[in-house]
Amino acid sequence: MTRPVVGPLGGVACAAVAVALLGAGLTAQIDRINHRQWAALESQRRDLLAVAKDLPRAKIDAIAAALTQNTEAVPQLTLARARALAVGVAKPDAHFLFRAGLQLLAMPEVVSGPRFDHVAVTLYAPHTTLAGELPAPRKFAFQVSVTDQAGKTVWTGVIPPTEEIRTLREFRATVDVPTKGWPDGTYHVVAEVSLDGKAPRAFDLPVQTSFAVLTGYAERAAFFRLASDVPELRKELAGIEVGPRAVLIGAADHACRAWYGVPGVDPSHAVRDLLRAETILANVRAKRPPLHGLTGAVDFGVATHDDQIAFVNARLPEGGVPARGSERWTTLAKRPLLLVIARAPSFDHEDRRPSYPPYALPGYLAASLQLVAFDRERHFQLVVVESPGRMPNTRRGLVGLVKHLPALLPFDPQRIVVVGEGRGARAAVILSEEVPDAIRGLVLVHTSGGLATPALRKLRDLPILAIPGYRRVGADSIERLKLYARHAGKTNLRVLDDRRWPWPLALPLAAREVEAFARAGTQ
């Protein structure tokens, strides 16, 4: 038995270790709160986009202005005001804003069963006041209901009522939902929140979330997490070719997201991501193309350089990726590539970064583009790549990505249009400089991409579409870009001057203009 070493400073050292461990625990708890806040906020932004995409232009402009007024220190309330405009509530009262800002959390995101047999449903208020403008509610009561995929109510219950808003601020407004014996599937949770004795009205926004049940989920997801620690599996991974291995590693990372506790955007896709990772693993083991048998928009990895991997979300061809060299592959390989380089997520509606998600996965932007039916006619092979901030070398990473993608997906590698959002715009410019013969057009969203007169002269023949941000978010850099273009004698720069929309509205709501620009450049 080893004796503990305790010297004259042993007590101090132990105290220091204890404080450090306590600090680490508090940091982890704060991180978990940030996880949940960001995911719920992104889900509400997605709800706003779903409504805004069908509204008249004047209404969209008003929503954009509401998002960027920054009258609240809490972004949830800013978003609540914008959502009120979207659903036609011109003067939202305190109860509307409070409900709209609430976040409903269901943890875990996937119940594994049979060892895990309940879900903790929690209501969280990210705010304690309404910016001093309206009186905050004083009494809170909660009715919770859960429905299955068929819409059948499978459970109802209550969260104990309270008169202390701290209960909502401290994650103490919670109830356990027993799931023992529930069949695998997705479940929808709705909280009916009564404020000061008044039930929700027809125009109040729903407070809702979802979770999934999948028997054996924990063990199946943990397999991908632990694969590199098992000698036999580590040896198997080492024997796989670079391209398929990168696809598998990227898909496995997505499969582990919910297992790690990093929340996704509602509705949950954790089960779908796990099933896709298992399919890719089976393909790799059977020496089939890694994406064989998959359809829809799929998250995976692409090899770039020096064993580095870029995470992408690619919309696969209808019916799946055909066999390489087949007649259908040859037909699809005539399509151009539309490569979208995403910006890193923000916590608010401008540029304030959250501590999570810890990586800028491309699926967040890809889901927004899918929501507005971006490239509905599938004229392009659409690929969204993660924000380049995680890449050790942006230049080599993007060049390697473009080099390796044609082995996985059918498209014409000599006809590429690149869309760069936020900091991704600079990466788009870098890629255009590296492979100028393949790039047919460049779209810059919320920034000039660092383009100045010398670079514009270099890219003189490259058509550029610029979409400004709202106010200080990218607008000034676009104005400078116009000035530089005049100095460089560049005439094929188009600026959507009337689109002063904030992230996350700018690119999805300019989808039709971006599509038209990309088509014109790849004829």
Kindly list the domain boundaries of the chain, sorted by start residue. 25-213, 216-291, 295-521
Q: Which residue has the higher pLDDT, 493 or 226?
A: 493
pLDDT tens digit sequence for 173-198 = 999 999 999 999 999 999 999 999 99
pLDDT of residue 246: 94
Cβ atoms of 238 and 263 closer than 8 Å: no
Per CATH, which fold does 25-213 belong to?
Answer: Immunoglobulin-like (2.60.40)
The pTM assigned to this predicted structure is 0.89
Specify the DSSP class assigned to residue 210.
E
Cβ atoms of 385 and 340 closer than 8 Å: yes
CA-to-CA distance for 54 and 66, rounded, in angstroms?
18
- Asked if the model's pLDDT at residue 18 lies above 70, the reply is no
What is the 3-class SS of 20-33, one letter each residue?
HHHHHHHHHHHHHH
* Signed CA dihedral, 423, 424, 425, 431: sign only: positive
Domain 295-521 has CATH 3.40.50.1820: yes
What average pLDDT does the chain have? 85
Cβ atoms of 441 and 419 closer than 8 Å: no
pLDDT of residue 126: 79
Region 314-340: mean pLDDT is 97
Region 234-251: mean pLDDT is 88
pLDDT of residue 8: 34
Cβ atoms of 45 and 504 closer than 8 Å: yes
pLDDT tens digit sequence for 61-72 = 999 888 877 655
Q: Which of 274-283, 342-351, 354-363, 385-394 has the highest mean pLDDT?
A: 274-283
- Asked if the model's pLDDT at residue 130 lies above 60, the reply is no
Domains 25-213 and 295-521 share a fold: no
pLDDT tens digit sequence for 465-488 = 999 877 555 556 777 888 888 888
Return the minimum-mean-pLDDT range out of 7-16, 442-451, 456-465. 7-16
pLDDT of residue 490: 83
- Asked if the model's pLDDT at residue 449 lies above 60, the reply is yes
CA-to-CA distance for 39 and 79, rounded, in angstroms?
14
pLDDT tens digit sequence for 356-383 = 455 567 888 899 999 999 999 999 999 9
Confidence of residue 23 (pLDDT cuts 50, 70, 90): very low
Confidence of residue 29 (pLDDT cuts 50, 70, 90): low
Q: How far from 500 is each of 111, 189, 302, 458, CA to CA, in Å?
A: 43, 36, 34, 28
CA-to-CA distance for 298 and 274, rounded, in angstroms?
11
CA-to-CA distance for 460 and 454, rounded, in angstroms?
10
